[in-house]
Structure formats: structure tokens, C-alpha cells
């Protein structure tokens, strides 16, 4: 693990003690708030990883591919977050995929980190411990954006990031 990732990890984990079980959101983030729905929180994960950006026509493609390890705050369950976007437990027994095109974005309040998201889950993709997950939130992000300025053909940039992921059970 690089020094940069360790620094991000240290930034992510102390915040856990300050967070309630269900996340608190700014009033302006009502579009990604699920606390007033019938959803019930099942997992709260802390993520450390990178967003992978590719150069296209001299500019960084705004779409990125995640590569992160999530650790559940109570059980220490390990999950790999990757393209799709999808999440798979370290034992490969549980998987879930989000429907990226329906993602609801909220600009990170710090103005420099990747967006906070509310993601609907592809119900046909759910297995194992994730078989009842209906929504996923990515909140409290740290970093993860591409560099400013131009880039050259075939250039790839790994942008370290941290985030909190909340996996919600949707009630019928």
C-alpha cells in the first residue's frame, strides 16, 4: 500500500466515531437522501481505493472506473468495488451491481472530491449477503477527481479516494 493510500485511510477511519448509523446529509442533498424512505440500513463500509481515469482526445474522460477495498464498520467484511459499478465480497459469495445510468449525483460539499451518489441496484445481480440490497449511497468522499488540464493519448491517471458506502435494504 502506498504512502498516499495510507494517508487517505487514516483520514477515512477516524470519521467513523463521529458518524451516526444512518448518515446525516446537508439539506441541499435531499435528492440522495434515503432516510425518509422505507429503506433500512444493512451495511456501512469505509472505502479506500482509486478512481481510474483515461485520456480521450486530450481531455480526461469524466467517467472513471473504481478500484477500491471496502471494510464494513461492524463486522470487518471486505468487499472489492470495481467497474460496473459492482461490489463483491472477498470470498466471492456475495455480489451486487448498481445501475450506473440512474445514479443521482450531489457535488461533494468540499468542492474538490468526487460526487456523492445514490445508486439503484440491478435486482437480478444480487447474490448472497447482498440479495436484499436495493440502494447504495456513496457519501463523505475524499479526493478521487482527475487532474486539471490536458492529457496525452493513452494516458491513465489513478486518483486515490476515500468514501463511506451505505448499503440499504429496500422494503417492498
CA–CA dist 56, 60 (Å, integer): 6
Q: How high is the pLDDT of residue 11?
A: 45
Residue 16: name the closest of 92, 70, 94 by CA. Answer: 70
Residue by residue, pLDDT tens for the chain (172 residues) are 444 443 444 444 444 433 336 788 999 999 999 877 888 999 999 999 999 999 999 999 999 999 999 999 999 899 999 999 999 999 999 999 999 999 999 999 999 999 999 999 999 999 999 999 999 999 999 999 999 999 999 999 999 999 999 999 986 5
Q: How high is the pLDDT of residue 138?
A: 98
Q: How high is the pLDDT of residue 171?
A: 65
**pTM for the whole structure:** 0.86
- Return the DSSP state at 103: P
Q: Which three cell numbers stand for residue 145?
A: 477527481
Q: What are phi and psi of 80, to 5 degrees?
A: -100, 130
Unique residue bearing C-alpha cell 447504495:
136
- Return the DSSP state at 7: H
Q: How high is the pLDDT of residue 76?
A: 87
Calculate the CA 148 to chain-centre distance.
Answer: 22
Strands 86-89 and 59-60: unpaired
SS3 at position 14: helix
Amino acid at each position: 500500500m502506498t504512502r498516499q493510500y495510507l494517508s487517505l485511510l487514516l483520514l477515512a477511519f477516524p470519521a467513523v466515531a463521529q458518524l451516526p448509523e444512518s448518515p446525516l446529509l446537508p439539506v441541499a442533498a435531499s435528492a440522495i437522501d434515503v432516510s425518509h424512505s422505507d429503506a433500512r440500513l444493512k451495511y456501512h463500509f469505509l472505502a479506500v481505493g482509486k478512481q481510474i481515469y483515461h485520456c480521450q482526445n486530450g481531455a480526461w474522460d469524466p467517467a472513471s472506473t473504481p478500484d477500491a477495498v471496502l471494510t464494513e464498520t461492524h463486522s470487518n467484511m471486505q468487499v472489492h468495488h470495481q467497474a460496473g459499478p459492482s461490489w463483491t465480497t472477498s470470498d466471492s459469495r456475495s455480489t451486487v451491481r448498481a445501475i450506473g445510468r440512474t445514479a443521482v449525483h450531489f457535488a461533494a460539499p468540499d468542492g474538490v472530491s468526487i460526487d456523492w451518489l445514490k445508486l439503484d441496484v440491478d435486482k437480478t445481480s444480487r447474490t448472497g449477503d447482498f440479495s436484499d440490497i436495493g440502494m447504495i449511497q456513496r457519501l463523505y468522499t475524499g479526493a478521487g477527481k482527475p487532474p486539471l488540464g490536458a492529457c496525452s493519448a493513452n494516458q491513465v491517471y489513478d486518483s486515490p479516494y476515500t468514501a463511506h458506502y451505505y448499503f440499504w435494504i429496500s422494503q417492498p
